Amino acid sequence: MNGPGLLTLLVLCPAVGLAVILAIPGRFPKAIKVASALTGLATLLVTGLIYAKFDPAAAGKQLLEQVPWIPAVGIEWHNGVDGISLPLLVLTAIVFFTGVLVMWELKERVKEYFAFMTLLVTGVFGVFVSLDLFFFLFYYELAVLPMYLLIAVWGSTRKEYGAMKLTLYLLAGTALVVPAALAVYWAAGLNTFDLVRLGTVHYGHTFQIVVYPFLFVGFGILAGMWPLHTWSPVGHVAAPTAVSMLHAGVLMKLGAYGILRVAMPLLPEGAHYWMLATAILATVNIVYGAFVALSQTDLKFVIGFSSVSHMGIVLLGLSTMSQDGINGAVFQMFSHGIMTALFFAAVGYIYDRYHTRDMTRLGGLSKYVPVASAFFIVAALCGAGVPGFASFWAELLVFLGTLKTFPVLAWIVVLALVVTMAYSMRAIVVGFFGAPHEELHHPADISLFLSLPRAILVAVLLVLGFYPRLMLDIIDPATRALIGVLK
């Protein structure tokens, strides 16, 4: 048994950051921002250390930490990473750090804002490192709840409605997940919440078939699963920039991660039984999301529905239960996270300066704010699946996996790429090309400092778009191990 180490440190980073932020009086907003940025930097550093210590060749969980917590019911402080959670840790650290920088101009209730944001991030890191089901669910809730306040206080466009809708949907998801998790706990009869040990038990066939949908749908709601996705675009639109970034970039991944870490390895027979149904739902996600995005005029709604579509690719990859499909799904979780963070960061700047996100009221922005526009265009191209960006490889792998398991669905989703291209082009051409509207007052182009976080995101997309093995060599061994469990 190993004591607390790097992973505990990683969860502590934002927690300590939160304490520091709370300790700084609210009249020093600059200090609070610096403290938040330093917290982000610290999480990046610790993630880097974890990355360095991680051995991609070795399968299984690494950097394990295990300390008994409440032995009476078998709760342990049990953490570890594998090739599935490590990319998501990196993702979270990047989106957190860039998100803080993006919000540098925030003026309203600075202290409270960054406090809730760091609290949220604490929860996200906790989920990704936990190997104990209790802590997993604890952090899961910790990550979700601050969203309500972040949206309801700092948001825009029907913010109370959006915040309440999001919270209710996500709590409904929890209401499905928690009983199912407890059912698994009791069925195992090991008096432990240890995910690793729970995974060694063979649950009854009927039990798996009955319980799996609870977990899949419960986690699926957070991943934007059709038809329970409608909280997500509304929430995106209402949320302030960095919250949208974290929300679409990281939080939605928690749902997919829950399926991958809890539902599938614990109940493999259930997953097999339901795989066609979940794959069809995921396909609907992809096609439907793309079609809805094509008719939206609010840029944030376009991105919101593109997220629904792209998260469908993640769910589809998981549903194939094949190596290519899951590799692609995990890679897509990462690249979609970065991409959509870039999307929201880009739109955030435009909304800040132009006070509208309606593409029909914008137009011609590339001429006046070329750099700020370029960030949006890059994100849109990445979303359209143009190679050279990370998403291309992720989607390719999912398609490959799907082609083997569900050939018909693979054809449908590949054909839907035309619609994806259509809404991406529409956003670019209507919003950023053409003649600008006369009543628009054009601001100065984005400053170098505000470009920095966006440029970081672009660089990540490009590097992985050029050489996907950087990520896939980490993911692949973990996927192989998982496939072994699923068989």
Partner 1 sequence: MTGTVLAALAAQAAPLLACALILIFLRGRPRVAAGTAIAALTVSFAAAAFLVWQVAVPNTASVSQTLWLPVQGGAGLAFGVILDPLAVTMALVVAAITLAVMVYSTGYMRGDPGFARYFGFLALFGWAMLGLVLASNLLQLLVFWELVGLASFLLIGFWFEREAPAAAARKAFLMTRVGDVGFLLGVLLLIRALGVATIPDVLAAATSSAPGFTVPLVAFLLLMGVVGKSAQGPLFTWLPDAMEGPTPVSALLHSATMVAAGVFLVARLHPLFAAAPGVMQGLLWLALVTALASATMAMVANDIKRVLAYSSISQLSYMLMALAAGSVAAGFFHLTTHAGFKALLFLSSGIFIHHAHSNDMREIAGHEPLSQKAGVIGLVAGSLALAGVIPFAGYFSKEMVLGAMGERVGGVVLALAYLGAGLTAYYTFRMVFLTLRGQTPRRQEARDIAPAAHVAGHEEHFSAAAHAAMAWPVLALAALTLVLGYLGGFFATRLSPALPHEGPFHVGGGALVALALVAAGIALAWYEFGRAGALRLGFAERVPALKSFFGDNWYLDRLYKATVIRWTLALSRAAKWNDHTVLDGASDGVAQGTVWGGRILSMVQNGFVQAYVAVAISVVAALGIWLTRTGGLP
The residues that touch partner 1, with contacts defined as CB under 8 A, are: 165, 168-169, 227, 230-231, 234, 288, 291-292, 294-296, 305, 322-324, 327, 364, 366-367, 381, 386-388, 392-393, 396-397, 399-401, 403-404, 410-411, 414-415, 417-419, 421-422, 425-426, 428-429, 432-436, 467-469, 472-473, 476
Quote the least distance from Cβ 425 to partner 1, whole Å: 4
Q: How many CB atoms lie within 10 A of CB 295?
A: 11
Q: How far is the CB of 395 from partner 1 (least distance, A)?
A: 10
CB 183: neighbour CB atoms within 10 A? Answer: 16
The neighbour count for residue 155, using CB atoms within 10 Å, is 21
Say how far apart CA 24 and CA 112 lie, in whole Å.
11
- From CA 80, how far away is CA 4, in angstroms rounded? 10
Q: Which one, 255 or 477, has the nearer CB to partner 1?
A: 477
Q: How far is the CB of 244 from partner 1 (least distance, A)?
A: 19
CA angle 381, 222, 275 (to 5 degrees): 85
Three-state DSSP at 358 gives: strand
Closer residue to partner 1 (CB): 4 or 436: 436
**Cα distances (Å, whole numbers) of residue 378 to 80, 457, 462:** 35, 10, 10
- Are residues 475 and 83 in contact, defined by beta-carbon separation less than 8 angstroms? yes
CA distance 253 to 311: 8
DSSP 103: G
Tell the smallest beta-carbon distance from residue 476 to partner 1 (Å).
Answer: 5
Tokens of 433: 């090309």
Least distance from partner 1 to the Cβ atom of residue 371, Å: 9
Shortest Cβ 25–partner 1 spacing (Å): 40
Which is closer to partner 1, CB of 58 or CB of 429? 429
Which residue carries 């600075």 as its tokens?
A: 110
Q: Can you say how many angstroms the Cα of residue 426 is from the centroid of all Cα atoms in its chain?
A: 25
Q: Cβ closer to partner 1: 123 or 224? A: 224
Secondary structure letter of residue 445 according to DSSP = P
Least separation in angstroms between CB 367 and partner 1 = 5
Nearer to partner 1, 182 or 429 (CB): 429
Q: How far is 9 from 42, CA to CA, in rounded Å? A: 10
The nearer residue to partner 1, 189 or 484, going by C-beta atoms, is 484
Count of CB atoms situated within 10 Å of the CB of 47: 24
Please count the residues of the chain: 487
**Nearest distance, CB of residue 210 and partner 1, angstroms:** 24
The overall longest dimension of the chain from CA atoms, in Å, is: 70
Instruction: Kindly tell me which of 204 and 387 has the beta carbon lying closer to partner 1.
Output: 387
Compute the least distance from the CB of residue 396 to partner 1, in Å: 8
Exposure on the CB side of residue 415, measured as CA atoms within 13 A: 9
Residue (145 or 417) nearer to partner 1, CB: 417
Task: Give the residue ranges of DSSP H helices in 155-200.
Answer: 159-188, 195-198
- Show the tokens assigned to 15: 């927690």
128/399 with CB nearer partner 1: 399
| C-alpha span between 166 and 168 (Å, rounded) | 6
The single-letter DSSP state of residue 228 is S
- Is the Cβ–Cβ distance between 369 and 447 less than 8 Å? no
CB closer to partner 1, 59 vs 419: 419
Least separation in angstroms between residue 407's CB and partner 1 is: 9
Nearer to partner 1, 30 or 437 (CB): 437
**Beta carbon of residue 77, minimum distance to partner 1 (angstroms, whole number):** 34
DSSP-derived secondary structure for 193-209 = -BHHHHTTS---HHHHH
User: CA 126, CA 120: separation in Å to the nearest integer?
Assistant: 10
Least distance to partner 1, CB of residue 22, Å? 34
CB of 198 to partner 1, least distance (A): 28
Nearer to partner 1, 11 or 381 (CB): 381
239, 155 contact by CB (below 8 A): yes
Cα Rg of the chain (Å, integer):
21
Nearer residue to partner 1 within complex by CB, 101 or 234:
234
d(CA 148, CA 167): 6
